[in-house]
C-alpha cells in the first residue's frame, strides 16, 4: 500500500505501542559482568581509564558478586590481576593463583552465579604476551600446554565455564581434551573465537597490567580488515569442541556478529570491551551525551546484530534501567 493509506508512523505515536512492536528486547538475562580480582584484602582500586570499574580483592569481590546477583544478572567473567609474573604464564596454572582462589571463595558463599574463568597468559607473563615467546614470537604449541593446564586448574577450583581468549590455533581442542580426560566433560568452553587486534583494548590492559612488550599481538589476534577469516576461526573452534562463540570487540564489529549468527546455531556472545565503555564514560563526563540512553542504544545494537549474550562493564547500570522499567509497567 502507498501513502497516505500506509503510514509507518502509526506504530510510533504511543510509547506502550512502541514497546509492544519492538523487534529487539534487552533482558538482564542477556548480560555478563566482567570483574578484575587482585591479591590482598580490602582493596578497591579504581581503574583510571575505566571510571566506575575496580580491581577488587577477594573480600570486596564477594560483596560485588552479591550485588550482581541481587540485580538479577546470572554470570560474571573473572580476570586475574597478578603481582607475580613469569616468562610462560605457568603461575596461572597453580591452585593458589588469584582467580582459582577467588572462585573457591565465591563457591563457599551463598552466591548463585555462573563463574566464567578467562584463560590467557597475558596477565601472568612478565612480557605481557598471551603465551611463551620463542625467537621473538609467541610459540603456538608450547602455549597450548600452559593454556590446557590453566584450564584444568580453573575447572578444579570450580569454574562453571572456561573461556580461552589467547587466540592460539588448536587451543579449544587442547582444553577440551584435558578437561574431558580429567572428568570435567560437563564444563562448557566459551571460546573467544573471533578476537581482533584492536585499539579498543587499551583500558583493559591498564586494568589487568597486561600490555604487551617488545612487539604487538597481530601475529595471533585477527586483522580488523578481515571478515571471511572470522568464519574460519569460528568453524575451527566449533569443530574442536567450543560450546559458545565470542566476538570481540563488539560495537565496531556488528557486521561480524551478524555474519557469525547467520552461520552458526551455537550461542553467540559479544564482548563490549573496555574502550567502548571508556568512550561513553568520557563523553558523559563532558556532558556531550545522555549516558543511559547511549548505553541502551549501543547494547541494543549489539543484540540486534545477533548476539544472544553480551559481556559489558555496564551490566549493573543496564540491569538497573531494565528493572526500573519493569517495575514501572507492573
CA torsion through residues 28, 31, 35, 41, sign: positive
DSSP secondary structure letter of residue 213: -
* Alpha-carbon span 69 to 72, nearest angstrom: 5
* Alpha-carbon span 128 to 275, nearest angstrom: 19
Do 213 and 128 contact (CB within 8 A), yes or no?
A: yes
Preceding peptide of 249 cis, ω within 30°: yes
* Beta pairing class for 114-119 and 75-81: parallel
Helical H runs in 42-97?
A: 58-70
**Known catalytic residue at 74:** no
Do 199 and 188 contact (CB within 8 A), yes or no?
A: no
Q: How far is CA 211 from CA 50, 161, 163, 216, in A?
A: 16, 25, 20, 9
* Beta pairing class for 190-195 and 137-138: unpaired
Selected catalytic residue, list 85, 248, 259, 281: 248
Selected catalytic residue, list 71, 85, 195, 261: 195
**Known catalytic residue at 101:** no
Preceding peptide of 4 cis, ω within 30°: yes
* Alpha-carbon span 301 to 88, nearest angstrom: 38
Do 283 and 289 contact (CB within 8 A), yes or no?
A: yes
CA torsion through residues 96, 101, 107, 112, sign: negative
Q: How far is C-alpha 253 from the geometric centre of its chain's CA atoms? A: 15
Residue 119's closest CA among 87, 145, 139, 86? 145
Residues tagged active-site: 195, 248
Amino acid at each position: 500500500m502507498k501513502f497516505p493509506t500506509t503510514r509507518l508512523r502509526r506504530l510510533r505515536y504511543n510509547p506502550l505501542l512502541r514497546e509492544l512492536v519492538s523487534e529487539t528486547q534487552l533482558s538482564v538475562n542477556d548480560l555478563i559482568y566482567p570483574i578484575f580480582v587482585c591479591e590482598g584484602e580490602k582493596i578497591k582500586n579504581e581503574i583510571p581509564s575505566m571510571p566506575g570499574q575496580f580491581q577488587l580483592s577477594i573480600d570486596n569481590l564477594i560483596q560485588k558478586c552479591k550485588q550482581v546477583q541481587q540485580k538479577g544478572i546470572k554470570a560474571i567473567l573473572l580476570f586475574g590481576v597478578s603481582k607475580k609474573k613469569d616468562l610462560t604464564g605457568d603461575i596461572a596454572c597453580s591452585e593458589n593463583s588469584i582467580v582459582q582462589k577467588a572462585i573457591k571463595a565465591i563457591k563457599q558463599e551463598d552466591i548463585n552465579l555462573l563463574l566464567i574463568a578467562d584463560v590467557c597468559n597475558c596477565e601472568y607473563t612478565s612480557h605481557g604476551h598471551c603465551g611463551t615467546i620463542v625467537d621473538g614470537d609467541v610459540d603456538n604449541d608450547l602455549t597450548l600446554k600452559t593454556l590446557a593446564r590453566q584450564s584444568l586448574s580453573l575447572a578444579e577450583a570450580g569454574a562453571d565455564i572456561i573461556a580461552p581468549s589467547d587466540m592460539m590455533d588448536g587451543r579449544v581442542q587442547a582444553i577440551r581434551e584435558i578437561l574431558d580426560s580429567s572428568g570435567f566433560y560437563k564444563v562448557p568452553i566459551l571460546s573467544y573465537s573471533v578476537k581482533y587486534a584492536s585499539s579498543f583494548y587499551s583500558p583493559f590492559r591498564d586494568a589487568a597490567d597486561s600490555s604487551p612488550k617488545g612487539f604487538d599481538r597481530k601475529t595471533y589476534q585477527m586483522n580488523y580488515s578481515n571478515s571471511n577469516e572470522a568464519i574460519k576461526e569460528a568453524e575451527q573452534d566449533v569443530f574442536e569442541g567450543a560450546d559458545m562463540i565470542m566476538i570481540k570487540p563488539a560495537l565496531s564489529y556488528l557486521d561480524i556478529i551478524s555474519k557469525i549468527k547467520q552461520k552458526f546455531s551455537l550461542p553467540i556472545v559479544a564482548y563490549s570491551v573496555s574502550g567502548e565503555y571508556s568512550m561513553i564514560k568520557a563523553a558523559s563526563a563532558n556532558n556531550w551525551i545522555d549516558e543511559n540512553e547511549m548505553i541502551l542504544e549501543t547494547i541494543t545494537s549489539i543484540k540486534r546484530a545477533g548476539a544472544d549474550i553480551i559481556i559489558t562493564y555496564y551490566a549493573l547500570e543496564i540491569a538497573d534501567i531494565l528493572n526500573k522499567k519493569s517495575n514501572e509497567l507492573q
